[in-house]
Amino acid sequence: MKIAVAKIDVSLGLIKENIATHIKLINVAVREKVDVIIFPEMSITGYCREEGAMLAFSKNDSRLNLLREIATLNNITIIAGAPIVLEDKLYIGSFIIKPNGLEEVYTKQYLHLGEEVFYESSFLYNPQISIEEEKLAFAICADIDKEAHPKQAKKDKATVYLPSIFFSKEGIEKGHEQLQMYAQKYSLPVLMSNFCGEHWNTKAGGKSAFWSGKGELLTSLNENEEGLVIVEKVKNKWTSYLKM
């Protein structure tokens, strides 16, 4: 099994162009025979607050059709983020686009200060997906600030923890420390996806990374260039490498 986490730069509100950026990295993942690829928080729209309602996606949004087609044709699961309207409420969410045509949504459970003005939080939309022998648990950004989140993932028998985040250049080291601690404490491999470039008037920290279940940082991208961390499990052992 192979999983890829992306580090990308997108532009606020330029959804068509942002999806093209996703596809560029998905194509790399397909060539590497990846089963699952994960993008950062609100990767489709760019991180936003005031603009969230205007840019929001619906559950069966036609703007995702190209990603759906790519998932089906290439037998790859794509996790990409956007503001999402569910039952007339606005959430920060991740679309889990599966190759069999089915689709699920994960919503952010813990909000950063100020996000509650624009978004709801919910524990109701918390799918885990199983691929081969792995059970994947998702997280979005501030979720990782609460240890209860990875603790619950472990309680739910997750075997890999997949945070999609937007951490700044100043905050990424703290994020790495948190995720390393969770990986070690819960014996839970962690794959994190972050932005590069500037978002919400803030320099993103990049450094999408992979920690083993022993808490070892095995692979990390740098702050700047777009790329993928790809991990593979063979005979119960994870290995990892970078594709730029």
Q: CA triplet 189, 144, 178: central angle to 5 degrees?
A: 65
Model confidence over 86-123: pLDDT tens digits?
A: 999 999 999 999 999 999 999 999 999 999 999 999 99
Phi and psi (nearest 5°) for 215?
Answer: 85, 10
Model confidence over 136-171: pLDDT tens digits?
A: 999 999 999 999 999 999 999 999 999 999 999 999
Share of the chain above pLDDT 90, in %: 98
**Which secondary-structure segment (H or E) carries 174?**
helix 172-185
Q: Which domain range does residue 99 map to? A: 2-243
Q: Which residues of 162-195 are buried (b: 16+ CB within 10 A; e: fewer)?
A: bbbbbbbeeebeebbebbbebbbebebbbbbbbb
The pLDDT of residue 201 is 95
Q: Quote the tokens at residue 79.
A: 């996790």
Q: What is the pTM of this model?
A: 0.97
Q: Quote the tokens at residue 1.
A: 């099994």
Rounded average pLDDT over 74-94: 98
The CA distance from 147 to 149, in Å, is 5
Residue 61 burial (10 A CB sphere; 0-12, 13-18, 19+): middle
- CATH assignment at residue 47: 3.60.110.10
The CA distance from 18 to 20, in Å, is 5
Phi and psi (nearest 5°) for 73?
Answer: -65, -30
Residue 86 burial (10 A CB sphere; 0-12, 13-18, 19+): middle
The CA distance from 138 to 79, in Å, is 9
The pLDDT of residue 9 is 98
Q: At 60, which amino acid appears?
A: N
Model confidence over 166-213: pLDDT tens digits?
A: 999 999 999 999 999 999 999 999 999 999 999 999 999 999 999 999
Q: What is the total count of domains within the chain?
A: 1
Share of the chain above pLDDT 70, in %: 100
3-state secondary structure of 41: coil
Do residues 205 and 167 make contact, with C-beta atoms less than 8 angstroms apart? Answer: yes
